Amino acid sequence: MTTTLARDAAPPDAAIRPRPSKWVWSWTGAGVFAVAALLLVVVGYLVAGISSGSVDWTALLTDASWSPPNAAYGGLAMIYGTAVVCALALILAVPVSWGAALALSEYLPPRVARLLRMCVELLAAVPSIVYGLIGIMVIRPVVAWIGDVPGGDSLLAAGIVLAVMITPTIVAVSVDALTAVPDRYREAAFSLGLTRREVIRSAVLPLARPGMRSAVLLGLARALGEAIAVFLVVGRADGRLPTSFDGFLHSLVHPGQTLTTKLAGPEPVLAGTSGPYFAALCGLGLVLLAFVAAATIWGTRGQKRGTSDKRAPAFRGAPRMRVERDRLAMGLRLGALLLPTALLLGMLALLVTRGSSAFNPSFWFTSATGAAGGGVRDQIVGTLLLIVTTGLIALPLGFGAGILIGVHASERVARLLQTLTIVLGGAPTILLGLAGFVILSSTMGWGRSWLAGAIVLVPVVIPVIALATSARVRSMPPELTESALSLGLTRAQFIRSVVVPYAWPATLTGLLLGLARAAGETAPLLFTATVFFGAPAFPSGVVESPVQALPTHIFTLSQDSGDPQAVTQAWGSAMVLVLITAVLLSAAVALRNRFEGERWTT
C-alpha cells in the first residue's frame, strides 16, 4: 500500500490581503462637500447682497449705462467686455496650447519633451500681477501702435494678457490627457499603415478629448475669474457698447470694462454693505457665476461617461496627400510649441533686466523700509506661509473631489459636480476676498489674519486639482478597472490601490498649477490677510495677525508708476515672486515625473 503524503493547505496570509478602505468614502465625500460648501458661501454672499436692496434685472442685463450718482445700474457693456476678452483669450490660446501639447506628447523624444514641458509650465509660475506689469510695459504700447490710439488700454490688450496666462494651464492638463492614452492604440494604428497625423486624429484624440476639453474649461475658468491683470490693462471705461461691426472692431483697441474689473475696483468698498448700489454689484457677481456655469454646461454637452472616453477608436486615413499633410501637421504643432517657449524666454529677459535688484542677496534678507526702500524678507515669509497653508488644505479636498467625480458618481451627478467645480474655479477672487472679509474678518472677528487669507485662496486651488484628477481618472484604461475588480477588491480598495496611484501625477500637476495661480492672487488678500507694512515676519496667532505678501506689495508699488524707485522695487519683488513659484513648480514637476510611471497597486 502506497501512502501519499500531502501538506495541509496553508491559511491565507492576512497580511497580504488588501486592507479595508472605509475611510475612502469619507475622504471623497469631504472633498465634494468642500466644493459645494465653498460655492454656497460665495452664492450666499451674493444673494444676501442682492436682498439688501432692489435690483432692476432688466436694466442690469440690457442697459449699458452705469452711473451710481444717477441710480443707473446697467451691466450690458461689462457683460460684453467679459465675453469679448474671454473669446479673444480662447481664440489665441487654444490652438497654440493644443498644438504644443500634441508636440510634447506625440512628436518629441521623452527627454526633450520633459524639458520643454517644464519650460511651458514655468509660465504658470508667473503670477497674475506680473502679467499685469508686463501688459503695461509691452502689450499696451503694441496695441497703441496697432490701433493708433494713445495709451493702449483696451479689450484687445486684456485678451492677449489672458491668452498668455491660460496657455500653460491648457498645455499641462492636455499633455496629461494625451499621455494617459495607452500605447497599444498608437501601435495598432501604426500597424495599419497610418501616418502619425492619422494616428493622432484616429487613435489618440478620441480618447484624450475629455481631458483636453477639461483643460480648456480650466483655462476659461481662470480667464473669467481673473481681475488684477485685466484691471491694469483694460482701461475700465464704462458704457462702451458697439452698435455696428465697425464699432465692434473699434471697441477692441479702446478701453472697456469687464465684470471682474468692475468688482475688483474701488466701487465694492464705496458701495457699502447694503442698498441698491451694493445690490447691483452683487447682481453683477451672480451674472458672472451664471456666465461660468453656462460656459461649463455648453462645453461638456454630449460628453458621456463610459463611451466617449472608453470606446476603442476608429482608425481612418486620408486617401490623398497623406505624407504632405503629416509634415504640415508636424510643422504647425512644433511651431505652436515654440511660441510659449519664446514667451517664457521673453518674460524672463524682461524680468531679469527690470528686476535685477532681486539678484542682490540683501534684497532677500532685509526688511522693507519706507514707501519703496529696503528688501522683501517679510513679504517672502508671508507669501510662503500663505502658499503652504493653502496647499495643505486644498490638496486632500481637491483630490477627493476629483476621485469621486471620476470614479463613483453617475453620469448626471458627475456632470453636475464638474459644473459646480468649474463655477467655483471661475468665481472672481475679489468675491472670495469680500466674502472672506464679511465672514472671517468681521463676523468671526479674525480681522486681518494669515489663516483667513489662506482659506480664501483654497477655492482657487481646489477646482484645478479636482478637474485635473477627474480627467485623468476618466482616461484610465478599462482593462485596469476590470482586472482590479476581478481580484475581488471592493470599490473603496480599488480606489485606494489602483485609482489613487494612477491619478497622482495629474493631481500634482493640478496642485502646482493651482498654487502657482494662488501665489499671484492679490485681490482676496487685500481684504483679509495683508498689510503694506508694519506686520511681523511670523504671526503670533490667528486673530488680528496680518502678514506682508509679495503680490499685494507689488500691486501697491505698481500704482505709483511715477516714482522710479517704486517701479524698480516692484520689478525686483516680481522677480523674487517668480523665482519662488518657479522653485515650487520645479519640485512638484520632479515629484510628478517620479510618480508618472507608478500606476499600479500600492
Which of 79-93, 274-288, 303-317 is modeled with the greatest confidence? 79-93
Task: Put residue 275 in one of left, alpha, beta given phi > 0 → left and psi -120 to 50 → alpha.
Answer: left
Indicate whether 564 belongs to any domain: no
Distance CA 73, CA 66 (A): 5
Question: In the beta sheet, which residues pair with residue 374?
Answer: 368
| Percentage with pLDDT > 90 across the chain | 3
- Cell for 221? 475658468
The helix or strand, by DSSP H or E, that contains position 49, with its residue range, turns out to be helix 23-51
Average pLDDT over residues 255-269: 80
Does 601 score more than 60 pLDDT?
Answer: no
Residue 95: domain span: 79-260
Cα 558 from Cα 573, distance rounded (Å):
11
Using the Cα atoms of residue 356, residue 139, residue 347 and residue 537 in order, give the sign of their dihedral: positive
Task: For residues 515 and 532, give the distance between their C-alpha atoms in angstroms, rounded to a whole number.
Answer: 22
DSSP output for 112-136: HHHHHHHHHHGGGGS-HHHHHHHII
Q: What pLDDT shows up at residue 306?
A: 41
User: Is position 214 within any domain?
Assistant: yes
**Cell numbers that stand for 320 in this block:** 490623398
Q: 104: domain CATH number?
A: 1.10.3720.10
Contact, 240 vs 251, CB < 8 A? yes
With beta carbons less than 8 A apart as the criterion, state whether 237 and 199 touch.
no
CA distance linking residue 215 with residue 422, whole number of Å = 11
Structural domain count, the chain = 1
The count of other CB atoms within 10 Å of the CB of residue 113 is 18
Backbone angles phi, psi at 329, to 5 degrees: -65, -40
Q: Measured between alpha carbons, how far is residue 503 from residues 41, 78, 134, 392 in Å?
A: 29, 39, 35, 18
- 3-state SS assignment for residue 450: helix
Q: What is the pLDDT at residue 393?
A: 92
Q: Which three cell numbers stand for residue 521?
A: 492672487
What's the confidence (pLDDT) of residue 365? 87
Q: Which residues contact 495 (CB under 8 A, 6 or more apart)?
A: 21, 24, 28, 403, 407, 408
pLDDT at residue 210 greater than cutoff 50: yes
* First-to-last C-alpha distance (Å) of the chain: 50
- Beta strand spans in 316-446 (E): 368-369, 373-374
Label residues 203-236 b or e (16+ Cβ within 10 Å = b): bbbbbbebbbbbbbbbbbbbbbbbbbbbbbbbbb
**Residues 74-94, mean pLDDT to the nearest whole number:** 90
User: What average pLDDT score do residues 516-543 get?
Assistant: 80
Residue with cell 482608425: 315
Dihedral of alpha carbons 569, 571, 572, 574, sign: positive
Who contacts 153 (Cβ-Cβ below 8 Å, separation ≥6)?
140, 233, 234, 235, 236, 255
Q: pTM of this prediction? A: 0.73
- Is the pLDDT confidence value at 151 over 60? yes
Q: Phi/psi at 66 (nearest 5 deg)?
A: -125, 110
- Asked whether residue 275 is domain-assigned, the answer is no
Q: Match 527690470 to its residue by C-alpha cell.
A: 354
Which of 448, 431, 341, 336 minimizes the C-alpha distance to 106?
336
Tell how far CA 131 is from the center of its chain: 15
The helix or strand, by DSSP H or E, that contains position 387, with its residue range, turns out to be: helix 377-403
Q: Which of 217-231, 351-365, 390-404, 467-481 has the highest mean pLDDT?
A: 390-404
pLDDT category at 8 given cuts 50, 70, 90 is low
pLDDT band per the 50, 70, 90 thresholds, residue 41: confident
Residue bearing cell 501604426: 190
Residue 422 has pLDDT above 50, yes or no: yes
Quick check: is 232 in a domain? yes
Let me know if residue 125 belongs to a domain.
yes
Q: Is residue 120 part of a domain?
A: yes
Mean pLDDT score of the chain: 79
Q: How far apart are CA 35 and CA 424, in angstroms?
A: 7
- Domain contains 89: yes
Looking at the domain assignment, is residue 200 inside a domain?
yes
- 517 vs 175, residue with greater confidence: 175
Q: Quick one: what percent of the chain has pLDDT higher than 70?
A: 86
The whole-number average pLDDT for the span 203-224 is 81
Mean pLDDT is lowest, of 47-51, 98-102, 256-260, 372-376, for: 372-376
* pLDDT at position 303 over 50: no
Residue 398 has pLDDT above 70, yes or no: yes
Rounded to whole angstroms, how far apart are CA atoms 495 and 148? 58
pLDDT of 588: 67
